[in-house]
Amino acid sequence: MFVRTLDDVIGTERDIAWGNGQSRRLLVEADNMGFALLDTIVNAGTDLEIQYKNHLEAVYCVEGKGSITDLATETKYEIKPGVMYVLDDHDRHRLRATEDLRLICVFNPPLKGNEKHDINTPGSSY
């Protein structure tokens, strides 16, 4: 057993500034849990096309508002506290934050911990 707090992560190599927010990696591959757990901030005004070619992701919103669009179907979903979305097929998607979003994210397989989005390249992935 171990315990790690958000304060333990902030300001360390697990606190990644990715250009449009912060990704606080509470669990990564080195923790040997088989998944990664992140507390992620997406800054208001973000409009980002993403695709995770190597990971599946489940996301739960705890603060803020925005939307996610499935780019294969153009279906748009509202994101607000209490909403979960799942990227279960390496889905290409557009994430928009109308307010700062705070998202709890689970990745499988786990992130190594130092990955970043390339916010200047549509469809960036890791």
pLDDT at 121: 52
pLDDT in 10s for each residue of the chain, 126 residues: 999 999 999 999 999 998 899 999 999 999 999 999 999 999 999 999 999 889 999 999 999 999 999 999 999 999 999 999 999 999 999 999 999 999 999 999 999 876 665 555 554 555
**Tally of domains in the chain:** 1
Q: Which of 43, 44, 52 is nearest to 71 (CA)?
A: 52
With respect to residue 15, please indicate whether it lies within any of the assigned structural domains.
Answer: no
Amino acid found at 42: V
Give domain status of residue 63, yes or no: yes
Is position 98 within any domain? Answer: yes
Q: Is residue 29 domain-resident?
A: yes
Kindly report the CA angle at 126 between 84 and 56, in degrees rounded to 5? 35
In this prediction the pTM is 0.90
Please report, for the domain that includes residue 46, its CATH number.
2.60.120.10
Range of the domain at 31: 25-77+89-102
- Residue 48 forms part of a structural domain: yes
The helix (H) or strand (E) run that includes residue 8 is helix 6-9
Residue 9 is assigned to a structural domain of this protein = no
Between CA 119 and CA 42 the distance in angstroms is 12
